[in-house]
């Protein structure tokens, strides 16, 4: 990690329709590169069984989220579904850059567009595309975290979000996971110009 006044932090934005695999890629990159830190988003949705407060998300009530929004605490925020908000805290970005880390974001398409517009060439915005709509529907069903009604909402949104893929810097098709992860590594290494010394798990 680089620290001090000479450090200019960059952003790696992973975006995809729900179930596209961006969270899996994020976890791999964070495990692979010491130079990367994760920006934990705020959400008002319910915590899932495997999730941890402050590691996966900061879970807030709608009232708490709106209070943060009124304080202009967010770089970007969105109401993804009715009454379900997500946002990126300014303090997360400031914290990670002050620690000398580049930042990985795992966010929805609209939030990714907002960050790319704000930070421009300081960002690498990667759209993770599933091999087909049917594959992503099956992934969501296999999670078993959605009711029939919420699944229909997600599928409708996925169809819209897949239309935005060409608005980002690059696209990775998430078909074979090992290939996807290697492609993500290469893109990150090229963008950040990082060496093996920044990667605790690479030989």
pLDDT tens per residue, range 71-82? 999 999 999 888
Give all strands (DSSP E) within 82-179, no chain letters.
84-89, 102-107, 123-129, 170-173
Does a structural domain hold residue 196?
A: no
24 touches 177 (CB < 8 A)? yes
Does a structural domain hold residue 67?
A: yes
Contacts of 49 (CB under 8 A, 6+ apart): none
Does a structural domain hold residue 3?
A: no
pLDDT tens per residue, range 134-151? 887 787 777 776 778 877
pLDDT tens per residue, range 96-121? 999 999 999 999 899 999 999 999 99
Does a structural domain hold residue 197?
A: no
Does a structural domain hold residue 44?
A: yes
Structural domain including 115 reads 11-190
pLDDT at 200 over 60: no
Structure tokens given for 44: 């008002």
3 touches 100 (CB < 8 A)? yes
Does a structural domain hold residue 198?
A: no
| Mean pLDDT over each residue of the chain, to the nearest integer | 88
How far apart, in whole angstroms, are the C-alpha atoms of residue 103 and residue 38? Answer: 6
Does a structural domain hold residue 125?
A: yes
pLDDT tens per residue, range 14-34? 999 877 889 999 999 999 999
* CATH number for 136: 3.40.50.300
Radius of gyration of the chain (CA): 17
Torsion sign (Cα): 161, 164, 166, 168: negative
Does a structural domain hold residue 203?
A: no
What is the count of structural domains for the chain? Answer: 1
């Amino acid at each position: 990690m680089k620290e001090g006044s000479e450090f200019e932090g960059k952003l790696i934005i992973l975006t995809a329709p729900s179930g596209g695999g961006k969270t899996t890629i994020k976890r791999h990159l964070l495990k692979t590169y010491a130079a990367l830190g994760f920006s934990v988003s705020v959400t008002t949705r319910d915590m899932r069984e495997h999730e941890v407060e402050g590691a996966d998300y900061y879970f807030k009530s709608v009232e708490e989220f709106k209070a943060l929004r009124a304080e202009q605490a967010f770089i970007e925020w969105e109401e993804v579904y009715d009454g379900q908000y997500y946002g990126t805290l300014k303090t997360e970005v400031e914290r990670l850059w002050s620690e000398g880390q580049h930042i990985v974001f795992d966010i929805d398409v609209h939030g990714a567009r907002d960050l790319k517009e704000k930070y421009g060439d300081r960002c690498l915005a990667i759209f993770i595309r599933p091999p087909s709509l049917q594959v992503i529907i099956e992934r969501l069903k296999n999670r078993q975290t959605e009711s029939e009604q919420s699944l229909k909402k997600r599928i409708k949104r996925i169809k819209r979000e897949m239309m935005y893929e060409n608005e980002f810097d690059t696209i990775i098709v998430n078909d074979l996971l090992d290939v996807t992860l290697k492609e993500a590594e290469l893109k990150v290494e090229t963008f950040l110009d990082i060496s093996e010394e920044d990667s605790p798990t690479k030989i």
